[in-house]
Amino acid sequence: MTSLYVHVPYCEQKCFYCAFNSKAGSGYDDRARFVDAVTTELLRRPNRRPLDTIYIGGGTPSVLEPVLLDRLLHAIAERAGLAEGYEWTVEVNPGTAVHAVMPVLAARGVNRVSMGVQSMDPRRLKEMGRLHSPSDVTEAVELVRRHGIRRFNLDLIYGQPHQSLNDWKRDLDEVLSFEPEHLSLYCLQYEDGTVWTDRRRRGLYESQDEDLAADMFHAAVEATGAKGLRWYEVSNFSVPGAESLHNKVYWRNEDYEAVGPGAYGREGSVRWKEIEDIKAWTSAALDGHDVRAEEETLGPKEDYLDLLTSGLRTREGVDLESIRRRTGIDVSDSIQSHLNSTMEKGLAEREGSILRLTNEGVLVLDDIVLPFYEALDRR
């Protein structure tokens, strides 16, 4: 697989839970300069094989004016071409000029849209700092279908402040009424620097109830399963064959290229992060300077833990023998009693060298992988 991630760091408004590298309130000139910088940076890098997966995230890529979005999409496709059977995903927000941007996406060959819904409750959307309404979601889904974009994903967040289990079930029922092939259902994380984290520190929000969050996950498994979707990664549910190919690249720790402020990329054992400041990244790219701010070479232990942790988040699980061959490390013998106990509790299943977690197991992933960390530390 040859994969590319492009980070578009602009939004109409910063959501109150969001810790992504994004900025609200920029003008057209800044955004045009940024698109020129991405084009320059793409052309500067060595040409590779045609792209199998492309993911344009943010931020809100659909906040770009149609002429700028078209320029960006054209530059990406021209850089190395598109492989047969490619998957090209662009994140959009309902209500963010979707009438104008959807024809651009369709004309350039984008075949998957990921839509930030987050909730179907108008009061909750306001509390989150979202600018769209539930009716905007309905309209955006219709537009995706009308323009022939083959697949779409809808995002929701659970474990929100003051959100009950019934609130969550209503959100699920409403988004499932659109008959999506894919849902991304994220449990809220209180990240540093967000409005919601500040409110929790000031006592305005209570700490998250882990038991309630677990009940919400199980409710999602039940509701999606009734519609033919199942989880294939702890936060992602799809009908068979509609899984996100690009995200699988991340979960399998395969190589992918990245372009944009604060974006992460990986090639072999090298992982890097690009300059986070938007203006600094844009200037560096336009001037032909290195846009990487950090770079690390992963050793066998780091690679082992990355493969284990990300793989166990998926339904396909991990092949411990494959990890051993790749890293030269095997700690199975030293933690065999832990593995046996985990399986006896119904938290994991073992099939040869394949280890996978159950619905209950993925909710206590940290507890399951901790002995692996400890065994590696003893080496």
What is the three-state SS of 202-259? CCCCCCCCHHHHHHHHHHHHHHHHHCCCEEEECCEEECCCCCCHHHHHHHCCCCEEEE
Residue 241 has φ and ψ, to the nearest 5°, of 95, -5
Indicate the DSSP class of residue 62. Answer: G
Compute the distance between CA of residue 45 and CA of residue 258 in angstroms, rounded to an integer. Answer: 11
| pLDDT given for residue 95 in this prediction | 85
CATH topology of domain 300-377: Arc Repressor Mutant, subunit A (1.10.10)
Q: Where are the beta strands (DSSP E) in 10-160?
A: 10-11, 23-24, 51-58, 82-92, 112-118, 151-158
Cβ neighbour number for residue 342 with a 10 Å cutoff: 22
| pLDDT given for residue 125 in this prediction | 96
Termini Cα distance of the chain: 33
DSSP-assigned beta bridge partners for residue 114: 91, 153
Closest CA to 149 of 96, 97, 87: 87
Closest CA to 62 of 30, 29, 89: 89
Same fold? 3-251, 300-377: no
Question: For residues 311 and 318, is the Cβ–Cβ distance under 8 A?
Answer: yes
DSSP helix/strand/coil, 287 = coil
Total count of residues recorded for the chain: 379
Q: What is the DSSP string of 314-372?
A: BTT-EEHHHHHHHHS---TGGGHHHHHHHHHTTSEEEETTEEEE-TTGGGGHHHHHHHH
Question: How far is residue 334 from each of residues 20, 302, 318, 349, measured CA to CA in Å?
Answer: 39, 18, 18, 18
What residues contact 142, with CB distance under 8 A and at least 6 apart? none
Distance of CA 25 to the CA centre of its chain: 24
Residue range 3-251 in CATH 3.80.30.20: yes
| pLDDT given for residue 97 in this prediction | 64
Tokens of 299: 């050793």
| pLDDT given for residue 96 in this prediction | 72
213: exposed, middle or buried (Cβ count in 10 Å: 0-12, 13-18, 19+) = middle
Q: Where are the beta strands (DSSP E) in 42-190?
A: 51-58, 82-92, 112-118, 151-158, 182-187
| pLDDT given for residue 98 in this prediction | 79
Q: Where are the domains of the chain?
A: 3-251, 300-377
Compute the distance between CA of residue 244 and CA of residue 151 in angstroms, rounded to an integer. Answer: 10
Give, in degrees to the nearest 5, the angle at Cα 72 between 67 and 73.
100
Distance of CA 221 to the CA centre of its chain: 19
Q: pLDDT truncated to tens, each residue of the chain (379 aa)?
A: 799 999 999 999 999 999 999 999 889 999 999 999 999 999 998 877 899 999 999 999 999 999 999 999 999 998 878 999 999 999 999 987 678 999 999 999 999 999 999 999 999 999 999 999 999 999 999 999 999 998 999 999 999 999 999 999 999 999 999 999 999 999 999 999 999 999 999 999 988 899 999 999 999 999 999 999 999 999 999 999 999 999 999 999 999 999 999 999 999 999 999 999 999 999 999 999 999 999 999 999 999 999 999 999 999 999 999 999 999 998 888 889 999 999 999 999 999 999 999 999 999 999 999 999 898 888 7
